[in-house]
Amino acid sequence: MTTRLIYFAWVRERIGLPEEDVDLPAGIETVADLLRWLKSRGEGYEHALQYPDVIRVAINQEHVEHREKISGAREIALFPPMTGG
Amino acid sequence: MSAAVVPTVRIQREDFDVAAEIARLTQGRADIGAVVTFSGLCRDEQGALAALELEHYPGMAEAEISRIAVEAVQRWPLQGLTAIHRHGKIAPGDNIVLVVAASAHRQAAFEAANFLMDYLKSRAPFWKKEHRADGSEGGWVDAKEADTKAAQRWKPSE
């Protein structure tokens, strides 16, 4: 199944893409698994996800924890802590 | 009892008119005794800042602020609630965010506006990038620990 990944702020700048569609390999079950896998995809990803703990994640436009399962996610967004308001 | 209040949430590039937003909540009714507004503006940081660029997550920005606003309406007896957040390039002195809370008595409106802002700062998907007055790129604004703490104080005690 294809999953759309969306990146914002410095995560987007470091990866060098605003979004992409990926086919997740077997064994990627949680958000933490996804971050670990993405980090190994190249220099930009490595730079963006150097400290995975600080990365915030939303599945289908709702905040989730890193232990959350990602099965059935259409859209997963990765971004830094928010600074609106 | 009046019908449940449906909050108004808008994410927009253009500016907002504070007086018009108050009037939109109060016009034609006589049961509102208190209106609290909060406006967040762009600071110039002692002349060092030329502008802030506000990036947002379209769709989720509306959805998340709406979730927070619905929680506020459930927690306090409000008669109206509006939240507006701008995105794009914003110059020092210009508006960024507006919250308007209306209630019969002031306490509910004060607390709901405060709650909404605290939650919005730590949960609404917006990111500020600085443009410096000297032409250099200032980089992304760091999230503040104090903002996370401010949101945590509204959690019901266990």
CATH number for the domain spanning A21: value is 3.10.20.30
Residue A45 domain-assigned (yes or no): yes
Window B:27-86, CB contacts with A under 8 Å: 40, 54-57, 59-60, 63-64, 85
Strands of the sheet with B49-56, listed across from one edge: B88-90, B49-56, B126-132, B137-140
Total domain count, chain A: 1
pTM of this structure? 0.94
Q: Among residues 95-124 of chain B, which lie with CB inside 8 Å of chain A?
A: 96-97, 117, 120-124
Question: CB–CB of B7/B69 below 8 Å?
Answer: yes
Cβ–Cβ under 8 Å, residues B115 and B36: no
Place B2 in a pLDDT band, splitting at 50, 70 and 90: low
Does the domain at residues B8-132 carry the CATH identifier 3.30.750.24?
A: no
A61 touches chain B (CB under 8 A): yes
Q: Is the pLDDT of residue A1 over 90?
A: no
Contact B60 A9 (CB under 8 A): no
Domain boundaries, chain B: 8-132
Residue A55 lies inside a defined structural domain of this protein: yes
Q: Which of B12, B41, B140, B148 to mutate to test the interface with A (most CBs of A within 10 A)?
A: B140
Quickly list DSSP for A12-65: HHHHT-SEEEEEPPTT--BHHHHHHHHHTT-HHHHHHTSSGGG-EEEETTEEE-
pLDDT digit string, tens, across residues A7-18: 999 999 999 999
- The domain of A11 spans 2-79
Residue A33 lies in a domain: yes
